[in-house]
Amino acid sequence: MAASARGSVWEIQPGDVGAAGLAAADEAGGFLAALRSAAAVAGPGAAGDAVWASVAAARVLRPDHPHALHQLVYYSIYAGWDRAARGPPPYWFPSPIDCKQTNLGRLMEANGPKLLGSSYKDPISSLSHFHRFSVENQEVYWSMVLKQLAVKFQKEPNAILSTSDRSMKGGTWLQGAVLNIAECCLLPCPSLKRTDDSIAIVWRDEGLDDHPVNRMSLKELRSQVITVANALDTMFHKGDRIAIDMPMTCNAVIIYLAIILGGFIVVSIADSFAPQEIGTRMGVSKAKAIFTQDFIIRGGKKVPLYRLNTYHQHTSDQLIVIPFFSRVVEGTSSKAVVIPATGGYLGVTLRNGDMSWKDFLSRAAGRSSVYSPVYQSADALINILFSSGTTGEPKAIPWTQHSPIRCTADTWAHMDVRPQDIGCWPTNLGWVMGPIILYSCFLNGATLALYHGSPLGRDFCKFVQDAGVTVLGTVPSLVKSWKAGNCANGLDWTKIRVLGTTGEASDIDDNLWLTSRASYKPIVECCGGTELASSYIQGSLLRPQTFGAFSGASMSTGFVILDEQGTPYPDDVPCAGEVGLFPLYFGATNWLLNADHDKVYFDAMPIYKGRQLRRHGDIIQRTVGGYYIVQGRADDTMNLGGIKVEPPLFIVPDPLLSSLHFMKPNQHFSHLQMQTSSVEIERVCNRVDEGLLETAAVSIKPAGGGPEHLAILAVLKDRSAQYDVNLLKSKFQRAIHKNLNPLFKMTGSVLTSMTGLIASKHIGRLMEENGPKLLGSCYEDPALSRFNLFHMFSVEHQDSGVQFPNIWEVQTFFSWPTNLGWVMGPAALYSASETAAVSIKVIKPIGRGPEQLAILIVLEEKSLQCGIAILKSKFQRAIQKNLNPLFMVRVFCFMLLTSYDWMYMHGCTEIVY
């Protein structure tokens, strides 16, 4: 922070205000007087939340004030806040008057009294009762919500929900209904005041930032979608799968809707994937063709997407022309339709059999401008998206016509998207937020805002202003980029009503900056999954909002938090554990294209109230006050800039190595959201150098929250060899760019002399994949006994077909860091200003002997006030008291994180073999 926080708002002095950016004495004095006057409204001795509510209501803080001033006031007001006793501090409070004008508030006011009886009071105080009603009476809730959306059935459903077929664990939804969800996006809707003249899309091309924004009416959008659908009919058969691999431009949206309108199936591929990843997704989905662009325009640069014709290299005496094929051409042999990124002409030469956008559209010439959509059942497949898997092949997740309805209903209820809103969420159709923002705008009667370029800088922020965006979605890495570049300085974001964030953990100070730019509008935190077509926990405009926390479950969504034995905690008790979703979940998948759905989402989950819970994989904390914080993954998935990565066990580096070499902080992660697997990362990295024995991809969580960082741990075959770590890092980065994702940024690499890295990574995966089927009911929740059982089975059943690593001489093995982390977290967090996080690791000694338990501590400060021996003793006592008295802590490794500065390894005190 630029200015230090005081112990309370009353301790702020004129000098503090001046240091925070209001240098003029009269300005600083006037601000301080207004601040104290607003704070006094809360009354003598008022708690921090009451004081902040008064200050926010008085609008003492303005968007044009320096961020340091916002920091000074916010952190001073909440300096004495006891999070343990009161939960996370709120920064936004719903208005008793305005709440009744929200979408959900209007629904509750109209139906609450008859549904809840005398217990209904108002939308704020009755929200928890109404939510419980929506979970227990889903047919009633969804019948009401469907009437609020632009969903037009050709045949009405026989029932909203049927549970008669017990094999359908998620229930049967909208049975008998027939519709075309793309048509619903394109038709006028009187109830939403949407006409043919309504603006459907506003957009701007990068580089034209001083030009007026472009606008497309609903009628124009429908006409262009019909043209593309007519052209598709000349080339493909109904039901064919057609991929889209391009930025989320107007053309991409038109193509997406046309594919579904015509009865085809969209295959969503992120535009930053490497050729191999494109090929994998084309193969898994069996796509017949792909729509793409010649280039991606980003940050003033033209990045090849389809192909790069030639690369010219000058030598002393000649010009060498080197052919270089880019991602789409190299990734798939399927027919490609190529769209120019700018202008009307392609900047590349097409491969034989491929087609230009102009030639493709010409196939619709002479066909009727009236198009008959293909109407299908509500559970018909319309879109294939992808999520990562532990095997390296991405899970192909089917979206049916239920999915758009679900995501639209959630944004209607939680983000309050209304007709005439202008919604913008920089993303890509290859990630789930692309279809979500598309449907959330069109089915709610709102306008979709698209920026054709990089959203990382001021040009995008200016587009938000010029387009009049009222609902702005973000990811935390993007907000960090805007804040670091002061990209919103001088811009007017006061038209924004609601902000949203998803994809990764939010940083509190970054979100303070974001909401302050929009006059302290609410930021709705969202956490869900592609397979859910929605978020299972979200913020709500009917509850106070806190930074980095979720205010409750999504409407109609029920879940429990499970302890380590799989027993649900009581609903009103602060706790932490794996989330178990109620299985009756409208919009969630009930099958996968290339994986066993029951095995992925239901196997080994407990029964609750007569139904098996659905697995999501998050470890969440319920705080005092009923807020939720995502603490990580039960399967230890990493989240790197919104990129979900299935990781191996994090191995502590060799204590003889004392430094990690990191990239500079201004090298940001991609804002786009994609999924890959740590198995894929390791597979690529293992091949970059003949001197490598093995690698592990690991994540590091920064102090104070925010995006995780990726580091590669590498083991050399010859541990005595000298090797340039920077050279190895550059090889890793090039390999990742070429084979996985050109926008994927590696934070650092470290060489380690440990052996057994692969064994310790993969034993956990072997146990997860084979334990339940080999051990049956003996294979309980993750615990130490799992290893013993699995070890005994491997010795007695070596012909089982499972390839067991040759590491069974290890006497003590722990592959489930989450369990130890729950116990040891409180011991490590003895001072919030000193210790930010703790991770539990395993190392294997050089030579022979049992593997050793090590503690990795992440610090906010470079010095530890408590002695190392004392902290180690605290860990040891916690382990022996709560887990196993035979466990001995052998190694400490301190990871120091300094805000936006470099990260580095510092010091390991001892290692005992």
Q: What is the pLDDT of residues 784-810, one digit of tens each?
A: 334 444 444 444 444 444 444 333 222
**CATH number, position 232:** 3.40.50.12780
**Per-residue pLDDT tens over the stretch 641-688:** 454 544 433 322 332 222 222 222 222 222 223 334 566 677 778 888
Q: 351-360, 726-735, 863-872 — which is least confidently predicted?
A: 863-872
- Which of 28, 52, 81 is the last residue in one of the domains? 81
The rounded distance, in Å, linking the Cα atoms of 300 and 120 is 55
First to last CA, the chain: 44
| Residue 267 lies inside a defined structural domain of this protein | yes
For the cut 90, the answer to whether the pLDDT of residue 205 exceeds it is yes
**Per-residue pLDDT tens over the stretch 78-113:** 999 999 999 999 999 999 999 999 999 999 999 999
Going by pLDDT thresholds of 50, 70 and 90, the confidence category of residue 313 is very low
For the cut 70, the answer to whether the pLDDT of residue 735 exceeds it is yes
Query: Quick one: average pLDDT of 42-55?
Result: 95
Task: Report the side by side order of strands in the sheet with 552-553.
Answer: 214-217, 199-205, 447-452, 422-424, 471-474, 498-501, 523-529, 534-538, 552-553
The mean of the pLDDT values for the chain is: 80
> Over the range 497-532, which residues count as b (16 or more CB within 10 Å of their CB) and which as e?
bbbbbbbbbbbbbbbbbbbbbbebbbbbbbbbbbbb
| Residue 168 lies inside a defined structural domain of this protein | no
- Show the 3-state SS of 752-806: ECCCCHHHHHHHHHHHHHHHHHHHHHHCCCCCHHHHHHHHHHHHHCCCCCCCCCC
Spatial contact of 406 and 530, defined as CB atoms under 8 Å apart: no
| Residue 827 lies inside a defined structural domain of this protein | no
For the cut 60, the answer to whether the pLDDT of residue 627 exceeds it is yes
For the cut 60, the answer to whether the pLDDT of residue 586 exceeds it is yes
Number of domains in the chain: 4
Residues 504 and 582 grouped into a single domain: yes
Compute the residue count for the chain.
913
Bridge partners of residue 842, in order along the sequence: 853
Compare 368 and 869 and report the one with higher pLDDT: 368
For the cut 70, the answer to whether the pLDDT of residue 755 exceeds it is no
pLDDT at 733 (0 to 100) = 79
Residues 426 and 574 grouped into a single domain: yes
The rounded distance, in Å, linking the Cα atoms of 396 and 429 is 15
Spatial contact of 605 and 597, defined as CB atoms under 8 Å apart: no
Q: 338-352, 480-494, 644-658 — which is least confidently predicted?
A: 644-658
CA contacts within 13 A on the Cβ side of 547: 22
For the cut 50, the answer to whether the pLDDT of residue 571 exceeds it is yes
| Residue 104 lies inside a defined structural domain of this protein | no
Spatial contact of 236 and 289, defined as CB atoms under 8 Å apart: yes
Cα 893 to Cα 179, 707, 757, 813, 890, distances in angstroms: 58, 21, 17, 19, 10
**Per-residue pLDDT tens over the stretch 859-905:** 444 444 445 556 666 766 676 565 555 555 544 444 333 322 222 22
| Residue 448 lies inside a defined structural domain of this protein | yes
Query: Quick one: average pLDDT of 805-832?
Result: 28
**Per-residue pLDDT tens over the stretch 469-478:** 999 999 999 9
| Residue 77 lies inside a defined structural domain of this protein | yes
Residues 874 and 759 grouped into a single domain: no
For the cut 80, the answer to whether the pLDDT of residue 460 exceeds it is yes
pLDDT at 887 (0 to 100) = 55
Residues 687 and 624 grouped into a single domain: no
Going by pLDDT thresholds of 50, 70 and 90, the confidence category of residue 303 is confident
Residues 730 and 843 grouped into a single domain: no
Residues 53 and 185 grouped into a single domain: no
Going by pLDDT thresholds of 50, 70 and 90, the confidence category of residue 822 is very low
The rounded distance, in Å, linking the Cα atoms of 782 and 635 is 10
Q: 404-418, 533-547, 719-733, 746-760 — which is least confidently predicted?
A: 746-760
For the cut 80, the answer to whether the pLDDT of residue 750 exceeds it is no
Share of residues in the chain with pLDDT > 90 (%): 61
For the cut 90, the answer to whether the pLDDT of residue 58 exceeds it is yes
User: Residues near 154 by Cβ (< 8 Å), separated by ≥ 6?
Assistant: 178, 179, 180, 375
Residues 584 and 720 grouped into a single domain: no
Residues 564 and 424 grouped into a single domain: yes
For residue 397, what is the DSSP state? E
- Max avg pLDDT among 501-510, 716-725, 831-840: 501-510
pLDDT at 663 (0 to 100) = 26
pLDDT at 697 (0 to 100) = 73
| Residue 184 lies inside a defined structural domain of this protein | yes
pLDDT at 742 (0 to 100) = 57
Compare 310 and 396 and report the one with higher pLDDT: 396
Find where tokens 């980095």 sit.
548
**CATH number, position 721:** 3.30.300.30
For the cut 70, the answer to whether the pLDDT of residue 825 exceeds it is no
Range of the domain at 223: 175-632
**CATH number, position 897:** 3.30.70
User: Tokens in use for 635?
Assistant: 């399967």
Compare 603 and 851 and report the one with higher pLDDT: 603
**Pick from 271, 269, 535, 524: nearest CA to 416:** 524
| Residue 536 lies inside a defined structural domain of this protein | yes
User: Tokens in use for 675?
Assistant: 């999924």
pLDDT at 89 (0 to 100) = 97
**pTM for this structure?**
0.77
Residues 521 and 627 grouped into a single domain: yes
Residues 690 and 758 grouped into a single domain: yes
Residues 769 and 848 grouped into a single domain: no
Residues 687 and 627 grouped into a single domain: no
